[in-house]
Chain A
Amino acid sequence: MHPAPSIIFFTVFSGLGFGMLAFLGLGKPDVSGFTAFVFFAIAYLLAVGGLISSTFHLGNPQRAIKAFSQWRSSWLSREGCLAVATLVVMGLYAIGVVFFNTRIVPLGLLGAILSVATVFATSMIYTQMKTVPRWHHWTVPLLFMGYALTGGAFLTGQIQLATAGFATIGLMQVIYWVLGDNRFQQSGSTLETATGLGHIGKARMFEAPHSSKNYLMKEMVHVIGRKHARTLRIGGLVLASILPWAILMFLGFSHIMALLALIIHVTGALMTRWLFFAEAEHTVGLYYGQR
């Protein structure tokens, strides 16, 4: 699948933002006034910034409001609705915390649940795709929620949780890769099932339908970036998980080290998210003799 920068930024940064909101909703850290304002401002900047970035890949973003209508059937629509609900609920909660030094506990709890549900809905947009066997797996929602909650815990200063989180996402990332590498084969789709010609023999593409690329190949048959996948996997794993974990574990907490760990983690998260798209093979690639 084509690793569109707008979607990579959206999933990484809105994930961090909603992860932060989940912890803020639980009253962690228990702050008020201007300090609380700064925490909420960062969380909203990340969540809303990510959501805005996601509209950059739309063909007709002026009609985006219509995307809130199909929550009964569409995960993308559900994600939109949940995101707005989270931002509204947490906004009301934030007003209480920032201006009135009052924590409305049920409202914060609802906001926290909605935050996690939003990230879950984002992950389900990919998980529901039967056409992309690597994504059509339970590890994907865990991975997305893992990244969001680890980043959220770290940004809200929950250092112990964040340390455990960094280790967990590394482990989950490896499980996702190991299981994911066989998913396409396990799905049973081949050029023979795609063309229905398997009863005659082994099929191969003889001639493409057109001399140049097309939308389908650009969007769903992205094979260029996979050349360096192994190196990027190691790099992504070290930066997203191992290094930030080591910094928190062995160097102790200081604001400078925390900033460093944050930058390293986000860089790694962007790398693994890039791989999430670039490595995902769509069944349509079979028709083009590629995966």
Chain B
Amino acid sequence: MTTLPTQTEKKLGLVIDLDTCVGCHACVVSCKGWNTENYGAPLSDQNAYGKDPVGTFLNRVHSYEVQPAQGAAQTIHFPKSCLHCEDAPCVTVCPTGASYKRVEDGIVLVNESDCIGCGLCAWACPYGAREMDAAEGVMKKCTLCVDRIYNENLPEEDRQPACVRTCPAGARHFGDLADETSDVSKLVAERGGFDLMPEQGTKPVNKYLPPRPKDEQIDILAPLLDPVAAEPQGFLGWLDKTLERIG
């Protein structure tokens, strides 16, 4: 049934640190790799070496410039994938029951053998987390690497989503956000993790950590490095005064 569970036992999800992300796109590549070689229809590309290459991705990294009222602008790299919402609008619109949210861990999945590729779930998602695969005609989305996290054939350190495992900056964290004592929950509490588009009422499980404030003073020694001669002396001093008189 494509009705949502009233409660899930766990809320597995990601915590993404916008302070640490360097925008290297390694998570995009590892996601595409794992999800092409493993569970479900591969993430196809069309015209990959041609003029207008397009392809299916479950995770994409945007970059934004944020301009504060005062001071310099900040560049922030912004990875975006399915947020595994508690109130997932993509699930309830599905006419075939292919989209569902798991009761045991809250992961939102698509049963590809039931999907007719109508695309309505992609319309219902405010975040653009679902992409129709042009080769298979079925809807693809982040599975939270459901075929890794419970996979006992993998070494324990690899039992986390491919994007988390690969991130060289440690900007991605995986865990149970329903458990207040989990590392991810503590991280969210400490750093003030937030939801994307809370006004849409989707109650996303994934959280984002805000960039830390920039240091106002670059270095405690900086004041000591003030220019020694603020007023030019000698020949330069004479030149400065002369030019001012002329100009």
Contacts and interface: CB of A to CB of B under 8 A. Distances in A.
Interface in B1-15: 1-3
Interface string B1-45: 111000000000000001000000000100000000000000000
B127 A66 contact: no
B196 A194 contact: yes
A58 interface: yes
Given A197-B66, A200-B74, A70 B136 contact: no
Nearest to A200: B66
A216 interface: yes
Interface stretch (A19-27, A41-49, A204-212): A204-212
Size class of the A contact interface (CB-based, 8 Å): 35 or more
B175 interface: no
Interface stretch (B92-100, B165-173, B181-189, B236-244): B92-100
A197 B118 contact: no
A75 B138 CA distance: 20
A73 B3 CA distance: 6
Contacts of A58: 116-118, 137
A63 B66 contact: no
Interface string B49-83: 00011111100111111111100011110101000
A76 B93 CA distance: 7
Given A70-B97, A206-B65, A215 B116 contact: no
A287 B95 contact: no
Given A194-B197, A206-B65, A209-B62, A69 B96 contact: yes
Interface in B101-122: 114-120, 122
A131 B126 contact: yes
Contacts, number: 195
B125 interface: yes
Interface in A62-102: 63-64, 66-70, 72-77, 80
A124 to B, nearest CB: 10
A194 B58 CA distance: 18
Nearest to A61: B116
A283 B126 contact: yes
Contacts of B116: 58-61, 63-64, 66-67
A161 to B, nearest CB: 33
Contact of B64 (A72, A74, A191): A191
Given A188-B199, A215-B132, A200 B120 contact: no
B199 A187 contact: yes
B125 A131 contact: yes
B161 interface: no
Interface string A211-235: 0111110011000000000000000
B66 A131 contact: no
A197 B18 CA distance: 10
Contacts of B137: 58-60
A1 to B, nearest CB: 7
Contacts of B57: 210, 214
Interface string B224-245: 0000000000000000000000
A73 B93 CA distance: 7
A66 B125 CA distance: 22
B54 A197 contact: no
Given A284-B126, A287-B80, A199 B92 contact: no
A128 B237 CA distance: 74
Contacts of A205: 62-65
A196 interface: yes
Contacts of B54: 212-215
Contacts of A63: 96, 114-116
Nearest to A208: B62
Contacts of B126: 130-131, 189, 283-284
11 contacts: A67-B95, A69-B96, A125-B120, A131-B89, A189-B126, A194-B127, A197-B211, A201-B68, A202-B66, A215-B54, A284-B125
Given A66-B96, A205-B65, A209-B28, 16 more contacts: A58-B116, A66-B114, A125-B120, A131-B124, A193-B199, A194-B197, A202-B67, A205-B64, A207-B62, A208-B62, A209-B62, A209-B80, A212-B54, A215-B56, A215-B122, A287-B128
Interface of B: 1-3, 18, 28, 52-57, 60-69, 73-76, 78, 80, 89, 92-98, 114-120, 122-128, 131-134, 136-139, 194-201, 208, 210-211
5 tightest CB-CB pairs across the interface, nearest first?
A59-B117, A59-B137, A284-B128, A209-B60, A201-B68
